[in-house]
Amino acid sequence: MTRAAGVLLPVSSLPSKYGIGNFGQAAREWVDFLVQAEQRYWQVLPLGPTSFGDSPYQSYSAFAGEPLYIDLDQLAEAGLLKKGACKRVEWGEDPSHVDYDVVRTGRKKLLRKAFKNFEDKKALEAFRQENAEWVEDYALYMALKDKNKGRPWTEWKKGLRLRDPAALEECREKYKEDVDYYVFTQYLFFQQWGALKEYANQRGVKIIGDAPIYVAMDSADVWAQPGLFQLDEKNVPTEVSGCPPDAFTADGQLWGNPLYRWDVMKEDGYSWWIKRIKANLSMYDVLRIDHFRGLESYYAIPYGDTTARNGRWRKGPGMDFIRAINQNVENAAIIAEDLGFLTPAVKRLLKNSGYPGMKVLQFAFDPNEDSSYLPHYYPHNCVVYTGTHDNTTTRGWLDTQEPEVLQLAKDYLGFEAVEDGPWAFIRGALESVADLAVIPLQDYLGLGGECRINTPSTVGGTNWRWRMSPEDMDEELAGKMARLSLIYGRASKSEPGKGPAEEPAQKAGKSQTAKPEKKAGKAAKKGDKSHADA
């Protein structure tokens, strides 16, 4: 990986008139801002359709995309929506936060209208055939969820819950229009995302995506292929995911995702995972695998328990899985999320994989230990962050630390006033030897903890809701970012403001992105170390 810098910003956090960030003009303006700021990477959160708690780490599908990110203006330009139709829909009262319930209601009404006006059935059918392995199950699953008033598939009638072929075929015919609609939303999603990614690549900006290691129990993935997961004969989980109690969480963390049957997956060479990673790498240039340590060993909690206290560690697929990925996915550009308590076995797996791990500056300043998160210990092959989406902002971190922790950070990074701390953290990350430095936008803006993306082990509140304003894409800020990238050798090697000549644009893969079509043209405390996206 070439020495470079990037910014972490969820698509949902982009500016837009319609309540949530999307793949429209503001996204292109954001890419232009990154180019001006000499940033060569844009890291996003998972782009799948969100479910429980609006979390992108709890998705209805590991392959599908979130329809909320479809740009409505492009649909109006293509004649699929009437001019002004979007103005008559409610999008929420606070432009700085996403109101998911309001946005979903308004967006679905408009997408249904666009579907009725869509006439290019040939293009839709081509997309459908190219993505048949996942899109048919996903579309039927979503149609059935609607008919079951949103209830999880585990509460559907027995024939549908256990996927009786006759019952499924009857529903495919009965709800054909709804199934076709959900295929249509995926067509639009991948068409628009593919165009945005191509725009970014042509400008010299690469996209870092995110793959949650686990899928949601209430997902098309588990419903369609229950044999790949640790379920009983009634498709009820036997054990679920989480992490054990520690000094910061006495009960541990109960995530509740179904666990993989790694022995079954091994029999066919982990084909489901290989398809998933290939699909993800057709959407992104680089893929972060969340909770990488779960590939070495994972924590299994008896289903029905209310805490994680009774869980046990079980062996994961390890290097056998990594070899399968490397042998079947050409030039797989992968980042390993290796945060949390790492055993020697996990460290060996990371080293043997060759993947870069992660370093987080907010985790570095414990006066009682010589932390590996201190920059002078970094290897070149890693990605450094000031904080992640699961941490508070750096200003929020500075505002909440004990005096001895704060003093160590001040002494190490060389700042006195707390208000100067975010830029000192940014400089500390950029000047390190880490090949890639990724900074959350909130840290460049100096925002407080109220603007964090997520608070682990909590649901609701402000999680996943923060949004930037158009004014945040400021020329003065871009200039300051560009200057630091140049000083620390992270800017592009070609002319300032243009993409690196040695890294040509990469188009989104055919299997996931429909061809363009003329008619249908976004540590709080140290305890945050443990993974808690689920």
CA distances from residue 104 to 18, 97, 194 in whole angstroms, order as listed:
11, 14, 22
For 382, the 3-state DSSP assignment is strand
- Residue 429 parent element (H or E): helix 421-430
Token code pair at residue 138: 């996903």
Token code pair at residue 419: 């208000």
For 530, the 3-state DSSP assignment is coil
Contact between residue 213 and residue 58 where contact means Cβ atoms under 8 Å apart: no
Please state, in angstroms and rounded to a whole number, the distance separating the CA atoms of residues 393 and 416.
Answer: 18
Check 210, 239, 290, 435 and give the catalytic one.
Answer: 290
Q: How many residues does the structure list for the chain?
A: 534
Please state, in angstroms and rounded to a whole number, the distance separating the CA atoms of residues 509 and 506.
Answer: 9
CA distances from residue 347 to 266, 292, 377, 403, 410 in whole angstroms, order as listed:
23, 10, 15, 32, 30
Please state, in angstroms and rounded to a whole number, the distance separating the CA atoms of residues 378 and 429.
Answer: 10
Check 66, 296, 390, 443 and give the catalytic one.
Answer: 390
SS (H, E, C) 278-293: HHHHHHCCEEEECCHH
Contact between residue 7 and residue 86 where contact means Cβ atoms under 8 Å apart: no
Burial of 269 (0-12, 13-18, 19+ CB in 10 A): middle
| DSSP structural state of residue 259 | P
Please state, in angstroms and rounded to a whole number, the distance separating the CA atoms of residues 131 and 245.
Answer: 41
| DSSP structural state of residue 519 | T
- Can you state the angle between helices 421-430 and 475-487, rounded to 10 degrees? 40
Closest to 47 measured CA to CA, from 381, 287, 250: 287
| CA-derived radius of gyration, the chain | 23
390 in active site: yes
Q: What is the DSSP string of 360-374?
A: EGGGS--TTS--TTS
Give the amino acid at 171: C
Give the amino acid at 80: L
Check 337, 338, 528, 533 and give the catalytic one.
Answer: 337
For 29, the 3-state DSSP assignment is helix
320 in active site: no
337 in active site: yes
| Catalytic positions | 290, 337, 390
